[in-house]
Every structure is written in structure tokens, then in C-alpha cells.
């Protein structure tokens, strides 16, 4: 299946989706606006939570059979079950609309492996780091331009594609890469490489590896993973679940259960290992959301040292 979710047509399916969306919106707006813990209590009472997903393998997507799956979904199911919320419902949302839709009350949290970045922290609250990320380049088979990282893209004057709203788009901007092609989905990025329209597509390495494995006839390969550097500072990146600022009780309860998984290497790999995540992607003890929300050179350098020392 393609990494981007295919929406199905049909009056019945559309009506059901609209009804579900309105119900989720109403429930979230009713309980989530005053920060007094009502949303957490309501979710526990109803035993169900609605999370937004962006259809990106291996983080969160829907299978051909309509099953919600992925590493962030697996984490959520474990965590919410421990909180007394047994049912995790998914709502597909375009990447750029994830946080705006959350703040409108259209769903209860975002489960899309979203990187913790200062501009995003200004819009919503991120859980503790759940997954660590490295960057990769998808290139034509044989890697004809010998690309290895973003600096090699600059040095070779290669045409790069990035996905709208991703951390890799920010890297390209910060590095001054000329006129990168901005695509709307990871599948579009792979198609740009396969067609020869671009020389490389930058995204998290684990996503690119999954895409290449799932599309063996696409004529692409993926470089070794790397940590991007900007002005000599390693751009260490961590993904997390996102909540509305006012839902502090929900966030705190989530973090408590997340820590129980992340602090246990065996349990971490048991939960997310089937999606390609390993000890290398487990956040080290001492990494904090605040480091990534501040995002200063000093914070990122400290985060890199902490992660490397694990």
C-alpha cells in the first residue's frame, strides 16, 4: 500500500465519517476547554479516544482492510489501555492540518510521529520524546550522484524534494538549498525520484526504508541514515504525541505511561519493534521535550550528547 492514505468515496462512508468527526469535535470541545481534567475523565468514562494520523508508514496509517496501525498507534494503544481507555479510533488528517484540527477540537490528540519543534510547541503541547529520528535520502538505484547527506546535495547541485511541513523542509530552508521541490506526501516524494524529476527525496530514514521495501519495483534506494547538521550543530530530532495546551491532566497521565515503556529497552522494542524501530530509536534517559521546544544550538548539542551516550 502507498504511504499516503487513499480516501474511499461513497455516500455512506462519507456520511459516517462526517458524523464521526462531528461527534469527536463536540466531545472534545465540551470537555477539553477549561484544563480541569474533564477530557481525561470523559475519555476514561467512554473508554475511547480519537487520534489524528497522517497516513505515513511506519508511524501511523490504515491498512487495505481498514485497520489502524503503526508504531505511534501501537504506543498509544499500550498507553491509553493503561490509563483505562481501551479503544483508539483514528481520523485521517493531512499533515499541515494536524495541529490546527487538534486545536479546533476535531480530535483528542495527534498520533503521527510529529517531531518536536519550537514553532509547533508554540501551538500545542508535546508529550515526552517517544521516538528518535534520523534523516535519509531516497535516490535512484545505484545512487548515481553519490549523495550521502544534505551537504552532498548542496555540493553536487542536486535537485531535492521535501515533504511540506516536515522537519526536512526546515533543514533545506536553513541550509539554503535552492528551490527544493515541495511535495504533499511521502508517496509523491518517491514518485518524484522514480520519474527522474528530482535527484533525492529527504525524509526520516525509517520512513524511506519502509517505502523502499514496500515498493521494490520503484527503482529507488535509500542512503545510510544521518543526523543533519546546520552550522556544525547536530539536528537531533525526537517525535511525540501532541495534545491541546489545556489538557494538562491527559498529557501528564500519558507521559507517566510512556516513561514506563521508553525506560524499558525490552518493552520498547516489544511495542514498536515490528515497525522497524530498534534500540537506536529509543530516547535516552535525560532527553526532555523542553530541549527540543527551545531548540537552541546548546539544547540540540546537549540532546545529541545525551543520545549518543546511551
CA distance 228 to 115: 14
What pLDDT is stored for residue 57 in this prediction?
A: 87
pLDDT exceeds cutoff 90 at 56: no
Q: Is the pLDDT of residue 30 over 50?
A: no
73-85: average pLDDT: 98
Neighbours of 262 (CB within 10 A): 22
- Asked whether the CA dihedral 178, 179, 185, 188 is positive or negative, the reply is negative
* pLDDT, position 243: 98
Q: Which domains does the chain have, with CATH numbers?
A: 11-131+239-308 (3.40.190.10), 135-226 (3.40.190.10)
For 176-199, the pLDDT digits (tens) are 998 999 999 899 999 999 999 999
Q: Looking at residues 99-120, what average pLDDT do you find?
A: 97
Which pLDDT belongs to residue 165? 86
What predicted TM-score, i.e. pTM, was given to this entire model? 0.76
8 A C-beta contact, residue 210 and residue 190: no
Amino acid at each position: 500500500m502507498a504511504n499516503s492514505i487513499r480516501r474511499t468515496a461513497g455516500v455512506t462512508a462519507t456520511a459516517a465519517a462526517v458524523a464521526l468527526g462531528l461527534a469527536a469535535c463536540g466531545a472534545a470541545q465540551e470537555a477539553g476547554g477549561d484544563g480541569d481534567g474533564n477530557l481525561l475523565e470523559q475519555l476514561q468514562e467512554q473508554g475511547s479516544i480519537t487520534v489524528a494520523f497522517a497516513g505515513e508508514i511506519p508511524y501511523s496509517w490504515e491498512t487495505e482492510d481498514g485497520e489502524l496501525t503503526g508504531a505511534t498507534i501501537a504506543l498509544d494503544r499500550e498507553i491509553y489501555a493503561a490509563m483505562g481507555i481501551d479503544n483508539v479510533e483514528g481520523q485521517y488528517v493531512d499533515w499541515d492540518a494536524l495541529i490546527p484540527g487538534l486545536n479546533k477540537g476535531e480530535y483528542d490528540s495527534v498520533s503521527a510521529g510529529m517531531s518536536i519543534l519550537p514553532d509547533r510547541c508554540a501551538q500545542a503541547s508535546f508529550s515526552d520524546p517517544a521516538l528518535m529520528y534520523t534523516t535519509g535520502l531516497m535516490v535512484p538505484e545505484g545512487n548515481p550522484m553519490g549523495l550521502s547527506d544534505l551537504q552532498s546535495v548542496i555540493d553536487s547541485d542536486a535537485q531535492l524534494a521535501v515533504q511540506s511541513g516536515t522537519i526536512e523542509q526546515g533543514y533545506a530552508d536553513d541550509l539554503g538549498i535552492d528551490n527544493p521541490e515541495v511535495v504533499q506526501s511521502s508517496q509523491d516524494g518517491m514518485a518524484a525520484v522514480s520519474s527522474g524529476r528530482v535527484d533525492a527525496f529527504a525524509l526520516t530514514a525509517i520512513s524511506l526504508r519502509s517505502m523502499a521495501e514496500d515498493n521494490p519495483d520503484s527503482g529507488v534506494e535509500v542512503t545510510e541514515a544521518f543526523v543533519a547538521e546546520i552550522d556544525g550543530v547536530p539536528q537531533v530530532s525526537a517525535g511525540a504525541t501532541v495534545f491541546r495546551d489545556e489538557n494538562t491532566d491527559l498529557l501528564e497521565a500519558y507521559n507517566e505511561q510512556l516513561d514506563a515503556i521508553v525506560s524499558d529497552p525490552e518493552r520498547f522494542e516489544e511495542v514498536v519493534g515490528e515497525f522497524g524501530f530498534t534500540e537506536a530509536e529509543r530516547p535516552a534517559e535525560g532527553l526532555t521535550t523542553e530541549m527540543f521546544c527551545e531548540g537552541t544550538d546548546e539544547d540540540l548539542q546537549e540532546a545529541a550528547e545525551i543520545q549518543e551516550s546511551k
